[in-house]
Chain A
């Protein structure tokens, strides 16, 4: 998803694109398709950057998805909003970890270790 294409999208469209990519990542993980996972990772990074750059930091549009049924969606929105909604985002990651929602729990545990180590 090219940067100039993202500029033309509304906030809702960006958020929808992020969530859809996270759902596709979930499927890529299930099918062990790492290349596809990584392609979607890059796409989501671009969307996140674009949301961040918009007035008021529109990553907050991802916050309502903290209770999404899909663990990959919850993980992705939690990490994307850690900077602007730290405690609640951290709680989401800790819940994924405690519920053993693997493979997402492994990524969540990694971020939680990074938080503990002061890296984020």
Chain B
């Protein structure tokens, strides 16, 4: 399989590489895209091409060029290792007892990244569907520890219709969990592209149950969180839940008539399980 992969990659380096691009395929990947898989990929990025965006993604992807690699001559030679180095040439990318990751025999492989629409989708809903899907795919791909940064670059380069907000919302989705006070303080600061203010105790249900705006909008109850995480959390509150605590209700239904403290507990749970708040 390794030989086949090598042969597949090699054709993109030939002068006639374009003959391997399917009709209409330019919207997905350029024929010379494999150059972005090289360690010196940065020199192929046009000067001024969203440099902030790329370095932000690189930082959030935990890209480290000094990370140990599998030595040459081994079956996965050249790839970043998860463990430090190799012992006696044994192929042990996972320590004993570690859970299988994306691509490992016991886990389904990572999905292909979302297909880039050739033209800007006509509706905001379609655009958002793609942007949200891409943000999630990047977050999932990062967990594979195989340095998929280069793949992000291919996708970003392919998408010419992204606006500033869409770029920012993809980056913000990659934020690691934060402390509660950090999220609260950020909400009191200047608005930030790619982020939205979120009420820990959801506004409307609290208002419907008679809690005053002074409590609902207090700094203690408001956090600044990534835009797509906000959408995910809002959905979660309205979705029926298998946790026995909710007894088949959605969290919003469950919270009807509940106390201020109980609302906070559920609100913090929502932030934790969505990877926004540190456990």
Contacts and interface: CB of A to CB of B under 8 A. Distances in A.
A32 interface: yes
Interface stretch (B12-20, B134-142, B201-209, B214-222): B134-142
Contact of A120 (B136, B233, B244): B244
Interface stretch (B45-53, B97-105, B147-155): B97-105
Contacts of B140: 99-102
B23 interface: no
Contact of A113 (B111, B231, B269): B269
Given A67-B108, A95-B99, A102-B136, A114 B236 contact: no
Q: How large is the interface on B (under 10, 10 to 19, 20 to 34, 35 or more residues)?
A: 35 or more
B243 A119 contact: yes
Nearest to A25: B239
Interface stretch (B158-166, B182-190, B271-279): B271-279
Given A34-B235, A68-B108, A99 B102 contact: yes
Contacts of B274: 102, 106, 109
Interface stretch (A15-23, A35-43, A51-59): A35-43
A110 B102 CA distance: 21
Contacts of A101: 140
Given A42-B240, A109-B272, A110-B269, A99 B136 contact: no
5 nearest A-B residue pairs (beta carbon): A109-B273, A41-B240, A34-B238, A106-B273, A114-B243
11 contacts: A32-B235, A38-B239, A42-B240, A45-B248, A94-B99, A95-B100, A98-B101, A99-B101, A106-B233, A106-B275, A110-B241
Interface of B: 99-102, 106-109, 111, 129, 133, 136, 139-140, 142-143, 231-233, 235-236, 238-245, 248, 250, 269-270, 272-275
Interface of A: 29-32, 34, 37-38, 41-42, 45, 67-69, 74, 79, 91, 94-95, 98-103, 105-107, 109-111, 113-114, 119-120
